[in-house]
Structure formats: C-alpha cells, structure tokens
Amino acid sequence: MDTTDAYKELGLDPGVDDAQLKAKWRRLVSRWHPDRNRTSEALLRIQRINKAYHHLCQHRNGALDPPQDASRPAGQTQAKPEKQVVVREVRLSIDEASLGCIRVLRGKFTHVCRTCAGKGQRVLAQACKGCKGSGAIRRAALFGWLWTEEACQDCGGDGRQREHCQPCDGKGERSVKYHHSVRLPAGVRAGDVLTVPGAQHDGLDFSLEIHVVFEPHPFFVLQEGQLRCEMPVDGFAWAANRWVDVPVPGGLQQMRLNRHALVYRLRGQGFPLEPRGPRGDYLVTVVPTFPEAEDAQQQKLIDRLIEASTRAADADPNSPLGQWRASLKAWNKH
C-alpha cells in the first residue's frame, strides 16, 4: 500500500493534520469493528483501515513535528522531552488474544537529529574560515584582469563557521533501535490500540503504539465477543454419546457428545468478556457426519445394531418403540 492509497482508504486528503488523521481513523474503526459490524466485509475492511493508518503514521513519523529548538543555543536545557510515537501492528490469533500473550517487539525508527535540527551541521558563532566571515569568495576571471565574487560554499554565504554534527554524523537524522517485551492482556480485541511507554533517546520520549490485528483462525471465530467453533463429528460416535477432542484456547479438551444436542456450552472457556476480565462461555456446534454409503461390512454391523436395539425395545415395557411395535402387531391381527 503506498501513501496515496492509504489516504484514499481512509477517505482523507494528504493535507490533514495528525489530529484529523487520528480522529478519522477512530471513526472508521468504530464503524467497521467486527464486534459491532457483522457484515462479512468488516474484517477485511478493518484490516485495510488499520494497515493504511499504520502506514501513514510511519510515513509521517519524523517528517512531522520537526524539533522546535533549531535556533536554541547549544547547551540550553530543554524544558520537556518531546514525544515520539512509534506505531507497530501486532497480529494475534484469537486463542492468543483469549489467554493473553507476550510479544517481543524489536525494530528501528529514525527521527530528525535534534542537535542540528536535521541539517547535519551546526552553525557556530565564529566567522567562517573559508571566507573570513564575508560570505563571499573572490575569484580571478579572464586571466586575472577581473575578479568575480561568489557565495562561499563553506557557509552558504552567511559568513558563519559550520561544524559537522557529531551526534548524527552529519546525516541529519538518527536511528534508534528498540527491543520491548510487551504483555498483551487476555481479552484484547482487533482494532485495539495499546500504548507502551518507552525510553528516552536524544531528548525524545518515545513510546510504542500497538495496533492489534487478528489473524483468521482455523477453528475459532469470535462473534459479538462470543467464541465459537463448528466441528464435524462422527455420526455414530455422536449417536453413541462418545467423547471427542475439542479445541479450546490453549489446547485440546475432551467433551462428551450427547445424541440429543448439537450445540454445547463450555463455561468459562471462551473469550474474556472484557480485557483482563473473566472468560465468557465457549459454544461448540457439532455436525454429525455419516458416511455417504456404508460398505458391506458397515451394513452388516448396522443390521446387527438395529436388530439388537429393536429386540431390547421389545423387551422393555417402558420403551415407546417397544410399545408402538406391540400395539401395531395387536392392531394388525384384526
């Protein structure tokens, strides 16, 4: 995604300021947040919106808010360190978000050198050595018959001595490496923004702004904060109330099937109701699956099963099937 596309995605003009950018992004997030917007488009949209915002924040970082102290004499103490926000996207799976996790974030960001205000050199109070402070260099022209004056290249014509900026090595910008271990609390949601206070560097107070994005999960979906899973189960195992393995955040768990139920509620195994709060319920929907056509051996086994279960029903005076079969037989004698 390039910068033009990113502005287009957010429906913004490149001339907007940071506050307008942030306000628009917040409006779009609240509109397209998958917790609130259940259209199939929402997840894709929120990811594109966050990507665009993320891109623009990085693009504008450093380019915006140039240091204000360009003309401040060296050595003067700064009143308050300026804030520098480094935006990072963090992709989580739904189970990581359910349980909380730790992410190690490392990277690098560059900012305008505050010592030289991005110029790569410092202007000193003394006169330029190249032109002795006049700002101009005289050059002989036409075999020395004439002199011309040109602006001094050392000082750009203002006559003041320059010094190569040491802190940025003349590049005008400095880069900072960061390495943070960040704890993401259980219940964090896609679209959430977390701020991690950072360290100071070159008089800048920098913090990490983490934008949470959910990765699609092979088993789990989150619908209106409700963790769900739909899984096929063997139809015979279901009919026989057998145990099956079900995925829960953090691993597998055994669950007993019940031939009268298709939806199962696993209490306290779902997504936290609110960040750091207790976990909600987890709903598992089973889809009993039978073979399309039973093979000869399965046919034989099913026949035996039917025979045995019918015999048992006939022998049980309380069985509705047994009672039905007995009354059918009696009626048919007439």
User: Quick check: helix, strand or coil at residue 180?
Assistant: strand
C-alpha to C-alpha distance for 181 and 53, rounded to whole angstroms: 23
Q: How many CB atoms sit inside 10 A of residue 170's CB?
A: 14
Q: Where are the beta strands (DSSP E) in the chain?
A: 82-92, 101-112, 121-127, 136-141, 146-151, 160-164, 173-184, 193-201, 204-214, 221-223, 226-234, 243-248, 251-256, 263-266, 282-289
CB of 159 to Zn ion, least distance (A): 6
Residue 245, both tokens: 């393995």
Q: Which amino acid is at 196?
A: V
CB of 141 to Zn ion, least distance (A): 20
Q: Does 161 bind Zn ion (CB under 5 A)?
A: no
Task: Pick between residue 113 and residue 229 the one whose CB is nearest to Zn ion.
Answer: 113
* Residue from the set 10, 86, 165, 229 that interacts with Zn ion by CB under 5 A: 165
Task: Pick between residue 16 and residue 137 the one whose CB is nearest to Zn ion.
Answer: 137
CB of 207 to Zn ion, least distance (A): 23
Stretch that binds Zn ion, among 165-173, 230-238, 254-262, 296-304 (CB under 5 A): 165-173
Q: Does 155 bind Zn ion (CB under 5 A)?
A: yes
Q: Does 112 bind Zn ion (CB under 5 A)?
A: no
Q: Does 233 bind Zn ion (CB under 5 A)?
A: no
State which of positions 121-150 bind Zn ion (CB under 5 A): 128, 130-131
Q: Does 116 bind Zn ion (CB under 5 A)?
A: yes
Nearest to 271 by CA among 187, 162, 192: 187
* DSSP string for 47-104: HHHHHHHHHHHHHHTTTSS--S-TTSPTTPPPSSPEEEEEEEEEEE-HHHHHH-EEEE
Residue 252, both tokens: 């597998």
Stretch that binds Zn ion, among 168-176, 208-216, 224-232, 291-299 (CB under 5 A): 168-176
Residue 169, both tokens: 């090595």
C-alpha to C-alpha distance for 309 and 244, rounded to whole angstroms: 24
* Residue from the set 154, 205, 209, 281 that interacts with Zn ion by CB under 5 A: 154
Q: 270: which DSSP letter?
A: S
Stretch that binds Zn ion, among 20-28, 40-48, 163-171, 266-274 (CB under 5 A): 163-171
Stretch that binds Zn ion, among 21-29, 155-163, 219-227, 229-237 (CB under 5 A): 155-163
CB of 131 to Zn ion, least distance (A): 3
Task: Pick between residue 127 and residue 262 the one whose CB is nearest to Zn ion.
Answer: 127
CB of 125 to Zn ion, least distance (A): 14
Radius of gyration, CA atoms only, the chain: 36
CB of 208 to Zn ion, least distance (A): 24
CB of 135 to Zn ion, least distance (A): 6
CB of 130 to Zn ion, least distance (A): 4
What is the H or E stretch that residue 5 is in?
helix 3-9
CB of 98 to Zn ion, least distance (A): 47
Q: Does 210 bind Zn ion (CB under 5 A)?
A: no
Task: Pick between residue 67 and residue 272 the one whose CB is nearest to Zn ion.
Answer: 67
Q: How many CB atoms sit inside 10 A of residue 41's CB?
A: 11
The footprint of Zn ion (CB under 5 A) covers 113, 115-116, 128, 130-131, 152, 154-155, 165, 168
